[in-house]
Amino acid sequence: MQDMGETVAFIGLGVMGYPMAGHLARAGHTVTVYNRTGSRATAWVKAYGGRKATTPAQAAAGARYVMTCVGNDEDLRNVVLGEKGALAGMGKGSVLIDHTTASADVAREIAGLAGKQGVSVLDAPVSGGQAGAEAGQLTIMVGGKPAIYKQATPLLAAYARMHQLMGPVGAGQLTKMVNQICIAGVVQGLAEGLHFARAVGLDRAKAVGVIAKGAAQSWQMDNRAVSMIEGRFDFGFAVDWMRKDLGIVLAEARRSGASLPLTALVDQFYAEVQQMGGSRWDTSSLIARLEAVKSKR
């Protein structure tokens, strides 16, 4: 534990934010938390100490660093802007670190408004899911000024195994979009491979055991192949959230002129999973769609 920690506010105690804020408290920082559902903040304070605030502005008052981890662009605006938002409580020289997976546009918008009052911003979306947050093993993609990033790295280290400055504000979100594009394609490929193996009569577990030692190996295969075979889809990152992320990706692609045919197709497949009642299933549930299609034939 550090001899002297920072004064930190953490806004948003969902499945990611709750353990992330806990790691900051365990690292010796003084943490004030805010969550829209107050009972969640009460439980956090009981578990880790610190203080519960009734508004984002109150949480941010006096904090050198303010972390946000909420659902989407509008959620982020709601907790950062306005008379009760975090910016209203932040002083000159403080730093807002946003861990929300959101658009690059909202990151730049908030950075512009924050800069007018002397507040620096890092957009810092994370990858690694609930398990990574709980273990303190997240990967963080950061956009912002190098000096501010360097200043904030001891705090990021409390819950990250890897963090990297990617460029100016917005670059963190753009890098997270690359992450989601890659995940979508890999999960669909794994789902099709397992579906095909079953259709041709292979022992799917044995097939995975062989190909996982070769070029087909991936994190998704190592961590989700068995549960996909067993039809278990309760690993935290829901289809609803993936569709939100892919919507951001596809909107950015339209603006930039990037061609993402596979990503657009997988987004449609996730829409079908939602229609099957799988909105809260995790992203590996793409295989359930394939099995359902086969059963209808």
For residue range 254-264, list pLDDT tens digits in order.
Answer: 999 999 999 99
Please say whether the beta carbons of 117 and 108 come within 8 A.
no
CATH code, domain with 232 = 1.10.1040.10
The mean pLDDT of the chain is: 96
CATH code, domain with 100 = 3.40.50.720
Catalytic residue, candidates 84, 150, 176, 213? 176
Please say whether the beta carbons of 93 and 67 come within 8 A.
no
Nearest to 272 by CA among 172, 191, 183: 191
Choose the final residue of a domain: 126, 145, 167.
167
Tell me, yes or no, whether 41 and 146 share the same domain: yes
Tell me, yes or no, whether 141 and 206 share the same domain: no
Task: Please tell me the total count of domains within the chain.
Answer: 2
What count of other Cβ atoms lies within 10 Å of the Cβ of residue 233? 21
pLDDT digits (tens, 9 = 90+) for 11-24: 999 999 999 999 99
Choose the final residue of a domain: 106, 139, 167.
167
- What tokens does 259 get? 């061609």
What range defines the domain where residue 67 resides? 7-167
Tell me, yes or no, whether 41 and 158 share the same domain: yes
The CA–CA distances, whole Å, from 231 to 207, 235, 268, 278, 291 equal 17, 12, 21, 12, 10
Q: Is residue 100 part of a domain?
A: yes
- What tokens does 209 get? 């055991």
Nearest to 79 by CA among 144, 9, 168, 145: 9
Tell me, yes or no, whether 163 and 179 share the same domain: no
What count of other Cβ atoms lies within 10 Å of the Cβ of residue 207? 19
Choose the final residue of a domain: 119, 143, 167.
167
Q: Quick one: pLDDT band at residue 1, thresholds 50, 70, 90?
A: very low
SS3 content of the chain, % helix, strand, coil (to 5): 55, 15, 30
Q: Is residue 1 part of a domain?
A: no
Q: What is the dihedral of CA 134, 140, 145, 147, to 10 degrees?
A: 60
Tell me, yes or no, whether 159 and 51 share the same domain: yes
Tell me, yes or no, whether 84 and 204 share the same domain: no
Looking at the predicted structure, is the pLDDT value of residue 99 above 70? yes
Tell me, yes or no, whether 133 and 92 share the same domain: yes
Tell me, yes or no, whether 92 and 61 share the same domain: yes
- What tokens does 60 get? 């941010």
Confidence at residue 235, expressed as pLDDT on a 0 to 100 scale: 84
Determine if the pTM surpasses 0.85: yes
Q: Is residue 2 part of a domain?
A: no
What count of other Cβ atoms lies within 10 Å of the Cβ of residue 130? 16
Please say whether the beta carbons of 86 and 9 come within 8 A.
yes
Tell me, yes or no, whether 73 and 152 share the same domain: yes
Tell me, yes or no, whether 246 and 102 share the same domain: no
Q: Quick one: pLDDT band at residue 207, thresholds 50, 70, 90?
A: very high
Per the annotation, the verdict on 46 as an active-site residue is no
